[in-house]
Chain A
Amino acid sequence: MDLSLNDEQQAFRALARDFLDREAVPHRVEWDRAESVDLAIVPKMAEIGFFGLTIPEEYGGLGGDYVTYSLAMEELGRADSALRGIVSVSSGLVGKSILFHGSEEQKQEWLPQLAEATKLGCFGLTEPDVGSDAGNLTTRARRDGDDYVIDGQKLYITNGTWADVALIFARTGSDGPRGISAFLVPTDAPGFEAREIKGKLGLRGQATAELFLDGVRVPASAMLGEEGTGFKIAMSTLDKGRLAVASGCVGIVQGCLETAVEYATSRTQFGRPLAGFQLVQDMIADISLDADAARLLAWRCADLIDRGEPYGVAASKAKLFASEAAVRAANNALQVHGGAGYVDEYPPAKYLRDARVMTLYEGTSQIQKLLIGRDETGISAFV
């Protein structure tokens, strides 16, 4: 077993870190307070290749493996999870749904633009009353001649107000998961409205929106995959999405480790550095262990994808562990910083607020446990 990174992977990681340390880290507190990153960073990120990773070159992407993708998500999470969210929703959730389930025309139309981030995508699954229970969503798509007409509402949609295309999951058939289909809906279609949700605890730099679809008309060719396969598309995409969340959380843990070590070695109390106290080293050791364990789980998942093996449960484990680790690490880093951790200028405060949602979205920790438990026992405990 060889856990070392190859030259390309190391080079990409170094490039990503250098770029983000220059372009994102100095601005993240101000973006967080303003409730928006400076969107001028999006084309610059595309130039580095963040949006094109794992999208094949023939569709305008960079190609590349999922280990590199995981490294990119880690670097984004370390710098600013709001940026990580913009990339993993647009190129991950939307781009990969199109790549794996789209028609050739759909791929040609959307993938190059998503890979270059000249267009952004959003993923319209969650609804006001449908979170973890996505199979029961209520947005409807009604066939009308050669078109579909979509009515409904979506909630907590990342990139919602910035996106050019929305991947909307809507009911075309009977109740339950098999009645759902997926549609690529241009956000400038008449009847489509996105309203930004202000006042979030974390991920304040990304636009989170409520989507209202009122008689939105799309041609039948906007359907992604077969009719009735929408739920499957959503779930298989979310498996890979979990790798992105897990890797982003590895970045949060790594960032917490770096800031805790820096503070503990530079601040003196009682005549010695904070790092000279056993209780402080205890917290730093916990963060370090969390960083290694979370990263190895994420890499294992990425490696399974790269080798074409089943990775769903590995993704659940990585997402569950890394997201819980991110919350733990942020708490530990904050405590190591003492009063400075409680001030809105130092890194732990933002890591903590950004980490909070990670255990909840793209499948809560409880959902991941049920997926893992079902795999271990062969018995589903979903109700």
Chain B
Amino acid sequence: MSEQHRSDLEQRVTALLEAHDPATTGRAEFLRARWDAGLAWVHFPEGLGGLGLPRDLQAHVDDLLAAAGAPDNAPERNGIGLGMAAPTILAHGTPEQHERFLRPLWLGEEIWCQLFSEPGAGSDLAAVATRAVRDEPSDEWVVNGQKVWTSSAHLADFAILVARTDPDVPKHGGLSYFLLGMREPGVEVRPLRQLTGEAEFNEVFLTDVRVPDAQRLGAVGEGWRIANTTLNSERVSIGGQAVPREAGMVGKVAAAWRAAPERRTHGAHRRLLDLWVQAEAARITGSRVRQQLAVGAPGPEGSATKLVFARLAQELSALEVELLEEDGLRYDDWTLTRPEKVDFTGRDAGYRYLRAKGNSIEGGTSEILRNIIAERVLGLPGEPRVDKDVAWKDLPR
């Protein structure tokens, strides 16, 4: 990071703090001032909460503001919005869409969810069957279908939606991308109980839900390409964050090891060291990927980061349960709750162990990620695709 950028940013932070003392300024007012100062997400363009600077500088701004006791925008409440919707809207939206959606999204005034997966379209996301049909007189689209695995659907104001607008062309070509209002009539959200006992995800039923054409993102038929922007961002946001050494799951296991010398065995020691080294390598690799990201949108490389993250999370959480012996087999809470945010390393060891099982499925299964790495990163021959040139409506389902 250049020194010039750094000191320039520090001056801007100081100016913001002088004009809006966090001790005497309301939270909402401070966040709006921060947005206007371009310090919301510095890698976004000027006028949209940013300064067009490298992405990595944001951490420095966050640290300075946190040290001054400034409120943040509670990013954990709007992970889909900040991590997935915002980069996609920025990359593919019109200036009007940027104006309308990005600010309330960053401020946390509007919460977002993602309507991609369906019961019949999981790994094969391009097979989505939810239909959007144009209603010419009203200049609106009418959406019907069922989505699944929707985190935060019960809290969300808006959703990024992939829907089929043309069933007569092969599946990838017939999709379009929409920004759908979750408070509109015809949106029904039902909790989905998962392995951990809670319902972090939902099923979403869409019946004649109307979306203005002005909330279509990108051209009709461009939905797949745009969805890939979102998915690449997601894979970076799962396991791609900048973290200190021994953060996350490896830190939990290391703490369990240090806390109970009487439970140590040579075998466990060897596994811990092996996993610790791998976690550290993954952390440093993540940092390298983020530097590449600083100059562009996420590419397929994020798939490798996420693949390794999932494997390590599962192996580390399993080791933690073993290190804790009987205590690791307790479970804190089986009631059906609907958590507002997800913390993979939160709660107790039993929860971490179970929650980690989702890591190799959500945001692209490990099998799909291996295909992406093979084909798009390494350039190996593609998986045979029998359905590539068949009109979607003629596919077996």
- Nearest-Cβ distance from residue B289 to partner chain A, whole angstroms: 24
What are the interface flags for A335-355 relative to B under an 8 Å C-beta threshold, 1 for contact and 0 otherwise? 100110111110001001100
| B277, CB-defined interface residue at 8 Å | no
Among A7-15, A231-239, A288-296, A356-364, the stretch in contact with B: A356-364
What are the interface flags for B311-331 relative to A under an 8 Å C-beta threshold, 1 for contact and 0 otherwise? 000100010011001101111
Chain B, 130-179, CB within 8 A of any chain A CB: 148-149
Chain A: CB-nearest residue to B200: A342
Among A109-117, A265-273, A314-322, the stretch in contact with B: A265-273
Q: Which residues of B contact A272 (CB under 8 A)?
A: 386
Bound: A359/B353 CA distance, A: 15
| B265, CB-defined interface residue at 8 Å | yes
Q: A349-B195, A352-B195, A357-B329 are in contact. Are A338 and B322 (CB under 8 A)?
A: no
| A64, CB-defined interface residue at 8 Å | no
Chain A, 114-157, CB within 8 A of any chain B CB: 131, 155-156
Please state if A201 and B117 are interface contacts (CB–CB under 8 Å).
Answer: no
Chain A, 78-114, CB within 8 A of any chain B CB: none
Please state if A268 and B397 are interface contacts (CB–CB under 8 Å).
Answer: yes
Among B91-99, B237-245, B358-366, the stretch in contact with A: B358-366
Chain B: CB-nearest residue to A280: B367
- Nearest-Cβ distance from residue A365 to partner chain B, whole angstroms: 8
| B123, CB-defined interface residue at 8 Å | yes
- Nearest-Cβ distance from residue B192 to partner chain A, whole angstroms: 6
Q: Which residues of B contact A327 (CB under 8 A)?
A: 318
Please state if B193 and A270 are interface contacts (CB–CB under 8 Å).
Answer: no
Q: A335-B360, A339-B122, A339-B148 are in contact. Are A356 and B193 (CB under 8 A)?
A: no
- Nearest-Cβ distance from residue A39 to partner chain B, whole angstroms: 20
Q: Which residues of A contact B383 (CB under 8 A)?
A: 270, 277
Please state if B197 and A344 are interface contacts (CB–CB under 8 Å).
Answer: yes
Contact of A331 among B322, B326, B357 (CB under 8 A): B357
Q: A33-B334, A268-B397, A366-B265 are in contact. Are A343 and B329 (CB under 8 A)?
A: no
Q: Which residues of A contact B193 (CB under 8 A)?
A: 343-345
| A200, CB-defined interface residue at 8 Å | yes
Please state if A279 and B370 are interface contacts (CB–CB under 8 Å).
Answer: yes
- Nearest-Cβ distance from residue A189 to partner chain B, whole angstroms: 26
Bound: A343/B127 CA distance, A: 22
Please state if B366 and A360 are interface contacts (CB–CB under 8 Å).
Answer: no
| B14, CB-defined interface residue at 8 Å | no
Q: Which residues of A contact B353 (CB under 8 A)?
A: 201, 356
Interface residues of A (CB under 8 A from B): 33, 35, 131, 155-156, 197, 199-202, 268-272, 277, 279-280, 327, 331, 334-335, 338-339, 341-345, 349, 352-353, 356-357, 359-360, 364, 366, 369
Top-4 shortest CB links A-B: A271-B387, A269-B124, A279-B367, A349-B195
